[in-house]
Amino acid sequence: MGSVLNVIKIGGNVIDDEDQLQVFLEKFAALQGKKILVHGGGKIATRLAADMGIEAKMIDGRRVTDQQMLDVVTMVYAGLTNKNIVANLQKFGSDALGLCGADGNVIKAIKRPVKDIDYGFVGDILVDSVNTLSIKKFLEAGFVPVFSAITHNGLGQLLNTNADTIASALAVALSKVYETRLIYCFEKNGVLRDVTDDSSVIKTIKSDDFERLKSAGIIYEGMIPKLENAFLAIARGVKNVYIGNALNLHLYQQGEFGTCLVSK
């Protein structure tokens, strides 16, 4: 097993706040060792689409991506947002390399099959979809890969893919080469025992605890799929998963960051 690799995903609410984003990127740049950043798009794509007269369609909180919206999210996620992040990381002394799944053939996906709902050009990542060899070359050369939430199907079609899923898939695939840790950064201090109390962070959650906390209604709604994906990543080889406040990333290497998810 090689050295430690931190795969860090930054949430859209932080991307939408320029001041918070600057604070986070400076802390990310200061983080020692091999690292990867994964980002979504925030509200910029929806706003730009509206300016162009394209209506954003959402079903159960998930974006429906028709051809027009795919054009917009590709421009925003893989272009505007990605390059702004990369430029600012360079400012903070981190040699970042902006990528989408098509670059270096690093992440392939398949178009989500239509069941009850047609989500359009949305990509689902398969087990062997991540090109670890290419990513390892970037990391060993000293680059910091910054992934946008755009993948491809290997046949010329770009696909909009959930950024949490991309982060998890990268961490799982690279766990064969490095000791990987997956870190989800968002606006809360961690998984909270009381959603109205930012200081009620649950420091450690084991898989057994998760079921109990879910049954008790302490963990609910949007946090459930996030934790389910996190424990799935651990089961597939990721060392630990952390969930915490993007502005507290400097506490990570001190062992004081957010909630740590462990297998047992």
* Extents of the domains making up the chain: 4-262
Give the residue from 139, 204, 145, 147 showing the smallest Cα distance to 4. 139
Condensed to tens digits (0 to 9), the pLDDT of residues 115-173 reads 889 999 999 998 889 999 999 999 999 999 999 999 999 999 999 999 999 999 999 99
Structure tokens at 120: 């359009």
Structure tokens at 42: 């925030």
The pLDDT of residue 1 is 56
Condensed to tens digits (0 to 9), the pLDDT of residues 14-62 reads 999 999 999 999 999 999 999 999 998 878 999 999 999 998 888 877 7
The pLDDT of residue 12 is 87
Average pLDDT over residues 72-90: 97
d(CA 72, CA 48): 7
Give the residue from 62, 206, 70 showing the smallest Cα distance to 150. 70
Binding residue positions for substrate: 41-42, 63, 160
The pLDDT of residue 26 is 98
Condensed to tens digits (0 to 9), the pLDDT of residues 170-207 reads 999 999 999 999 999 999 999 999 989 999 999 999 99
d(CA 83, CA 99): 9
The pLDDT of residue 21 is 96
Q: What is the mean pLDDT of the chain?
A: 94
Burial class (CB in 10 A: 0-12, 13-18, 19+), 113: exposed
Confidence tier at 2 by pLDDT (50, 70, 90): low
CATH number belonging to the domain at 4-262, selected among 3.90.1150.110, 3.30.1330.10, 3.50.50.60, 3.40.1160.10: 3.40.1160.10
d(CA 175, CA 22): 29
Structure tokens at 92: 């903070």
Listed range (67-71, 89-93, 210-214) with the worst mean pLDDT: 210-214
